[in-house]
C-alpha cells in the first residue's frame, strides 16, 4: 500500500509517497493554483494502488485538492495539525519544513489510518451548511 502525505499552504502544496514500511518512494512540490493542483492529482493517480491520501489542514488550504481527489475516487483522511506537530517533534527534524512535514503526515496516515477521520463529499457539504447557517 502507498500512503501519500500532503502538507498544504496558501501558495504551494508538498506531497510525499511512502510504502507500507514508511520508506519514501517519491515526493513532489507544486503551486496551489489550478495547474499545480492538476499536476498533484495526476502524480497521485500515477502511483500504484492501493493507496491512501493523508492531508493536513484538509478543510482549510487543502479544500481544493480534497475536492479534486474525491472527484477522482481517492480514499482520503484528515490529519489534525496537532498530530503533525507531535510527529515532527518525535521525528528528530529541527524546525518546520514542507519536505519533512509531508513525511510526517504520510507516516501518521500509515500508523493511524483506521482512526483518522475519512473525508468524503458529505462531510464537506455538512461543513458548508454549518458555515452558511452561521452566516445567516
Express each pLDDT in 52-62 by its tens digit: 999 998 888 88
pLDDT tens track for 22-65:
999 999 999 999 999 999 999 999 999 999 999 998 888 888 89
Q: What's the Cα-to-Cα distance from 22 to each of 35, 62, 93, 136, rounded to whole Å?
A: 29, 23, 16, 46
| C-alpha cell at position 52 | 491512501
Rounded to two decimals, the pTM is 0.83
Domains of the chain: 2-135 (3.30.420.10)
- Contacts of residue 42, defined as CB under 8 A and 6 or more positions apart, other chains included, come to none
pLDDT tens track for 94-110:
545 557 789 999 999 99
CA 19 to chain centre: 16
- Contacts of residue 84, defined as CB under 8 A and 6 or more positions apart, other chains included, come to 7, 56, 101, 104, 105, 108
Amino acid at each position: 500500500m502507498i500512503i501519500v502525505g500532503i502538507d498544504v499552504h496558501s501558495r504551494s502544496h508538498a506531497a510525499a509517497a511512502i510504502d507500507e514500511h514508511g520508506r519514501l518512494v517519491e515526493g513532489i512540490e507544486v503551486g496551489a493554483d489550478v495547474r499545480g493542483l492538476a499536476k498533484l492529482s495526476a502524480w497521485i493517480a500515477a502511483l500504484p494502488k492501493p493507496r491512501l491520501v493523508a492531508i493536513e489542514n484538509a478543510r482549510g488550504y487543502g479544500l481544493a485538492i480534497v475536492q479534486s481527489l474525491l472527484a477522482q475516487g481517492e480514499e482520503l483522511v484528515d490529519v489534525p495539525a496537532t498530530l503533525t506537530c507531535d510527529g515532527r517533534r518525535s521525528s528528530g527534524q529541527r524546525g518546520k519544513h514542507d519536505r519533512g512535514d509531508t513525511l510526517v503526515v504520510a507516516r501518521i496516515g500509515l500508523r493511524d489510518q483506521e482512526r483518522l477521520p475519512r473525508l468524503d463529499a458529505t462531510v464537506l457539504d455538512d461543513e458548508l451548511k454549518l458555515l452558511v447557517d452561521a452566516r445567516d
